[in-house]
A = this chain, B = another copy of it.
Amino acid sequence: MPVNLKPIDNAQLAPIAGVDLAYACASIKKPDPSRKDLLVIRIDKGNTVAGVFTQNRFCAAPVQICKQNLDAGVQIRALVINTGNANAGTGESGRQHARAVCAALAQELDCLPEQILPFSTGVILEPLPVERIITALPTRQPATWAEAAEAIMTTDVAPKASSRVIEIDGQRVAITGIAKGAGMIHPNMATMLGFIATDAAITRPVLNQLIKEVADVSFNSITIDGDTSTNDSFMLISTGQSAAARIDSVQHPAYEQLKAVLLEVAIELAQAIVRDGEGATKFITIQVEGGRSSAECKAVGYAIGRSPLVKTAFFASDPNLGRLLAAIGYAGISDLDVDRLEMYLDDVLVAKDGGRNPDYKEEDGQRVMQQSEITVRVVLNRGLANATVWSCDFSYDYVKINADYRS
């Protein structure tokens, strides 16, 4: 079960003026007329949309089409998302399939295929059942944000959504987002599927900058298994229907205010993905401080967060903390002076001066390891930068889920 992940409550998810949602049951993975596996996010004219995508060279066909359509500079009218099939490792026919889905929806919405952004998630290397998707599209029915979150799930145990309402210059602005992901999670510049919409008005160049800044410290700071997906996409939609003034520059007074709230939403979604990590029983926060750059801090955080040895020790509640030091040591900082760093488990100082803190007691480590939420804090003492990475433990159920996934 997900680690301390509160069930989503649709009453807490603010509708976004200018966005409407609809789901369908297309039986994409297998015949199941009750499984929501197709989502359409329609957006009124006057919007701006930005995206960041996986760096995987085997990026999925829909990711390739998304990038092309965003680069074309046309007004985006809808996003269409299917689960149950990743349409990745599918070559030219995969691109044709993704374009066919866009064309079908475009005809109905009376727009160009280039104004549709396609997304897929699920098993790789299998042909997209494009006919079933096109047939199911007209059968879609209006969805709440909670239903939308459900419609994009794959191995997720729980749907993931987050929402905030703020005031900018006395005008109401709403932000609501959904995400999916539980395995193949080790984003590189982007993430699984994440969609955040706001009615704030934001110009496209500002939105492009905003999404990068937000992704970097949210979706790009989590790892479950160290595998970077072929389909990672994080989209930010601005409908512009709030009465608040348009944000047309990163110097605009509302930019930092909006970014802070967007970050809250994005971090909540990113953490929800880790809490629902395949087989996870613990939620681990890794804070790395005092580095020369945030990149090196993140490298240390990821080395700890993806180490199978560290993750199995957390699963066992075993303070076998030398494994954490080993991971720090191979994180790639070639001039790291291990005699200067400190490592804490919550408030317990475990290591300093290149070795175990003489005052460290095994029972203190044991006490923290038994918690379901644990913070590892590494102080590198070589600079002013820091980074936080979120991860989970590694259990029998991770193996079970991934040995069984296709069957």
Contact = CB atoms under 8 A, between A and B. Distances in A.
A318 B316 CA distance: 28
Interface string A339-356: 100000000001101111
Task: Choose among A325, A328, A399 the residue with the greatest number of B CB atoms under 10 Å from its CB.
Answer: A399
Copies of this chain present:
2
A57 B338 contact: yes
B326 A230 contact: yes
Given A227-B308, A308-B308, A322 B402 contact: no
A181 to B, nearest CB: 13
A5 interface: no
Contacts of A287: none
A322 B88 contact: yes
A355 B125 contact: yes
Contacts of A228: 326, 329-330
**Listed residue (A308, A395, A398) with the most chain B CB atoms within 10 angstroms of its CB:** A308
A406 B225 contact: no
Nearest to A402: B312
Interface stretch (A68-76, A89-97, A200-208, A253-261): A89-97
B403 A229 contact: no
B90 A356 contact: yes
Nearest to A400: B396
A56 B354 CA distance: 13
A242 to B, nearest CB: 38
A399 B403 contact: no
A188 B90 CA distance: 34
Interface string A212-251: 0000000000000111111000000000000000000000
A107 interface: no
Contacts of A86: 322
Interface in A386-407: 394-396, 398-400, 402-407
Contacts of A351: 89, 125
Contacts of A316: 402-404, 407
A123 B227 CA distance: 28
A354 B91 contact: yes
B326 A124 contact: yes
A230 B329 contact: yes
Contacts of A59: 329
Nearest to A337: B57
A34 to B, nearest CB: 25
Interface string A155-184: 000000000000000000000000000011
B406 A58 contact: no
A307 interface: yes
A261 to B, nearest CB: 31
A109 interface: no
Given A86-B322, A90-B356, A91-B353, 15 more contacts: A55-B334, A56-B329, A56-B330, A57-B331, A89-B322, A89-B325, A90-B355, A93-B355, A125-B321, A226-B226, A226-B307, A308-B402, A315-B403, A394-B399, A399-B399
What 7 pairs across the A-B complex have the smallest Cβ distances?
A: A124-B322, A91-B355, A58-B329, A125-B322, A316-B403, A91-B354, A312-B402
18 contacts: A55-B330, A57-B333, A58-B328, A58-B354, A59-B329, A89-B322, A89-B325, A89-B326, A91-B354, A125-B351, A226-B226, A226-B306, A226-B307, A228-B326, A308-B308, A309-B402, A312-B399, A315-B403
